[in-house]
Chains A and B, each alone.
Chain A
Amino acid sequence: MNKLYNKYEKEILGILARYPAEGKRSAVMPLLFLAQRETGYVPTEALSNIAEITGISETDVASIMGFYTLFHAEPAGRYRIQICTDLPCALRGSESYLEQICEKLGVKEGETTADGLFTVEAVKCLAACHRAPMFQLQGDGEIKYYEDQNVEITMQIVEEIRHKVAAEQEA
């Protein structure tokens, strides 16, 4: 049918099976997640692929992508460090935690590290207010929580990821 479909046919059929026939367009969000799995953003081509699969227009697919914050239209770092700085977390020091992480990584909020690996972002409440400071890591098609953080622990995590990526590249 199209590139996205051919690539993930089985998974896509599984997604479509979750919804009744008249609700095919419900698959649009799962498909957007799928489309950005590899690159961390939704390539333009995927919009028309998804449109074709769900039977809605490309414009409508793009509109969904634009509305939700976990979909990205533009490339950024391979990993997005999304630090919650919402009220409860901020009451427990997440704003200065964010600043320090930025400093350590040599970026400003919203920017990407020179190696292209990390983008630091401030986000709204992630339902982990009792374990602040915390962040979620969006990348490689996954979203993982890291709670009860401080700068040292987080930088360790960052280093581990750097090592993992380096090892990957060597292999």
Chain B
Amino acid sequence: MEKYILLRHRDVPEIDQLDVYKANDGLVAFEKVVKSMQPADVTLEVKNSGLRGRGGAGFPTGIKWGFLPNNSWPHYVVANADESEPGTFKDREIMESNPFQFLEGLMIASYAVQANQAYVYLRGEFWQLAAFLDEKIKDLEVAGYLGEKILGTDYSLKINTHLGAGAYICGEETALLESLEGKLGQPRLRPPFPAAVGLYGKPTLINNVETLTNLPLIIQKGADWYRSFGTEQSPGVKIFSLSGCVNKPGNYELPLGVTYQELIFEHGGGIVNDNKIKAVMSAGASSDVVVADDFCLQTPLAYETCLDRIKAPLGSASIIVLDETVDMAWLVSKTVNFFKHESCGKCTPCREGTFWMDSLTKHMMANESRSEDIDLLRSVALQVQGKCLCALGEFSTMAVVTAVDRFRADFETHVRS
């Protein structure tokens, strides 16, 4: 029995070769859609599967596809392969090891919205990976799966990779579009949403790499099959990128709904040096810091349960584990410094707020702060909230507020009275 739906390379060696991929049901789904399915039916199947976007927001994928208007052409599809959230490294593994399944997913999505041009936007650091994908795209072209009149149908599709050049914000979909258009990677005002006005002003579908990689098997095996994994509101499987103070960091593909406990202790091999677990973050640096008590550890990792139980969104499911040795003030200084570095500068609260928080935590780390500065830090974070142009600014405050509230003692050790 094969264990994996997404990380199939762990079951099938050399699945990154087209012949091996094809020998293992590869491209069956794509052939099926282009030859025998109406675009709307493809969308319906995906809608029925309940697949939710794996880029972080968890928006239902099929519904998003339905937003592209049919009175404005051409349509574009963009695969979001920017993967820059600290603690996230799943898309990379998919593309490096199971590239055809990802590309097939992208092709299915493109067919569903009748796009003839798709782009894979990769973070610039994935330079080698882009070259690798270019080869795989070539292979598909040579084999007749990409190009003009694919497999004798009327459908044509071109895929191109496009490299970013070092900017976390370009993972945000509208900043990504700007960047792809050759502009500064700064988010656009929304509405209009990319589905209506996207790349080059045309309707554009943007999906995360992992989201897309689910598609071939959903089409091949059906929505009901997919729903047999995961929870009612979060069907299917998810790759959890596990990092931090665990013995076996890495990617774990598991059904949604697996608990923190299972992920960290059964799969991840427990905490390093048998230390005590202190806290977890579920969406990389953009997370609340959640006290890893029993209640938390029993929380199923699914979009709805994380929100309901621990009030912390699952996000990209990049679980950073923090043990008792971790100083939360230091942790906040790291996350805040990340966001300061990555703030695009377009809107005031994010640009100035991240700088201010960074400067406060820097002083704290140098033990130059006073007790009021802890409250000041928290108040600056709150002052940023709810005022930014895109979510990055909001993200920058999550760890700050929760860490100060929940681990104030850690901060106190850095201040003079």
Interface, chain A (partner B; CB < 8 A) = 18-20, 22-23, 25-30, 32-33, 54, 56, 63-64, 67-71, 86-88, 90-92, 124-132, 136, 142-145
Flag if B182 contacts A26 (CB, 8 Å): yes
* Residues of B222-251 contacting chain A, CB below 8 A: 241-245, 249-251
B88 within 8 A of A: yes
B3 within 8 A of A: no
Flag if B162 contacts A18 (CB, 8 Å): yes
Pick 11 A–B contacts, CB within 8 A, sort by A.
A26-B182, A70-B166, A86-B334, A87-B334, A87-B338, A90-B334, A127-B126, A128-B89, A129-B244, A142-B127, A143-B128
Of the residues A18, A19, A68, A125, contact of B165 by C-beta under 8 Å: A68
- Nearest neighbor of B344 in chain A, beta-carbon distance: A67
- Nearest neighbor of A144 in chain B, beta-carbon distance: B128
Of the residues A20, A68, A136, contact of B200 by C-beta under 8 Å: A20
A68 to B167: give the CA distance in the assembly, Å: 6
B326 within 8 A of A: yes
Which are the 7 A-B pairs with shortest beta-carbon distances? A69-B166, A68-B165, A25-B182, A130-B249, A125-B86, A143-B127, A70-B166
- Nearest neighbor of A56 in chain B, beta-carbon distance: B182
Flag if B86 contacts A71 (CB, 8 Å): no
* Residues of B243-279 contacting chain A, CB below 8 A: 243-245, 249-251
Of the residues B84, B128, B163, B341, contact of A127 by C-beta under 8 Å: B84
A160 to B285: give the CA distance in the assembly, Å: 35
B299 within 8 A of A: no
Contacts of B164 in A (CB 8 A): 29, 68
B124 within 8 A of A: yes
B320 within 8 A of A: yes
Flag if A28 contacts B320 (CB, 8 Å): no
Contacts of A18 in B (CB 8 A): 160, 162
- Nearest neighbor of B322 in chain A, beta-carbon distance: A91
A56 to B341: give the CA distance in the assembly, Å: 27
B117 within 8 A of A: yes
A92 to B284: give the CA distance in the assembly, Å: 15
- Shortest CB–CB separation between residue A109 and chain B, in angstroms? 14
A54-B320 contact given A20-B200, A69-B165, A91-B244, CB 8 Å threshold: no
Of the residues B92, B124, B320, contact of A88 by C-beta under 8 Å: B320
Flag if A64 contacts B92 (CB, 8 Å): no
Of the residues B89, B165, B250, contact of A70 by C-beta under 8 Å: B165
A87 to B322: give the CA distance in the assembly, Å: 10
A144 to B165: give the CA distance in the assembly, Å: 14
Of the residues A22, A25, A128, A130, contact of B183 by C-beta under 8 Å: A25
Flag if B128 contacts A125 (CB, 8 Å): no
- Nearest neighbor of A23 in chain B, beta-carbon distance: B200
Flag if B334 contacts A129 (CB, 8 Å): no
Contacts of B342 in A (CB 8 A): 124
Interface, chain B (partner A; CB < 8 A) = 83-89, 91-92, 117, 123-128, 160, 162-168, 179-185, 199-200, 241-245, 249-251, 284-285, 320, 322, 326, 331, 334-335, 338, 341-342, 344
Contacts of B124 in A (CB 8 A): 33, 68, 70, 143
Contacts of B168 in A (CB 8 A): 124
- Shortest CB–CB separation between residue B104 and chain A, in angstroms? 21
Flag if A33 contacts B165 (CB, 8 Å): yes
Contacts of B181 in A (CB 8 A): 23, 25-26
Contacts of B162 in A (CB 8 A): 18, 26, 29-30
A68 to B186: give the CA distance in the assembly, Å: 11
Flag if B165 contacts A124 (CB, 8 Å): no
- Shortest CB–CB separation between residue B162 and chain A, in angstroms? 7
User: What 4 new A-B contacts, CB under 8 Å, besides A23-B199, A25-B181?
Assistant: A19-B160, A92-B249, A130-B251, A143-B125
- Shortest CB–CB separation between residue B79 and chain A, in angstroms? 14
- Nearest neighbor of A22 in chain B, beta-carbon distance: B200
- Shortest CB–CB separation between residue A122 and chain B, in angstroms? 10
A87-B335 contact given A54-B182, A68-B167, A127-B84, CB 8 Å threshold: yes
- Nearest neighbor of A27 in chain B, beta-carbon distance: B182
Contacts of B88 in A (CB 8 A): 125, 127, 129
Of the residues B85, B87, B182, contact of A28 by C-beta under 8 Å: B182
Contacts of A64 in B (CB 8 A): 182-184
A48 to B357: give the CA distance in the assembly, Å: 38
Flag if A129 contacts B87 (CB, 8 Å): yes
Contacts of B185 in A (CB 8 A): 67-68
Flag if B243 contacts A88 (CB, 8 Å): yes
Contacts of A125 in B (CB 8 A): 84-88, 284-285, 338
A126-B183 contact given A26-B162, A68-B167, A88-B244, CB 8 Å threshold: no
Contacts of A71 in B (CB 8 A): 165-166
Of the residues B83, B165, B249, B251, contact of A32 by C-beta under 8 Å: B165
A126 to B249: give the CA distance in the assembly, Å: 15
- Shortest CB–CB separation between residue B334 and chain A, in angstroms? 4
- Shortest CB–CB separation between residue A86 and chain B, in angstroms? 5
A66 to B291: give the CA distance in the assembly, Å: 40
Of the residues B127, B241, B331, contact of A129 by C-beta under 8 Å: B241
Flag if A127 contacts B125 (CB, 8 Å): yes
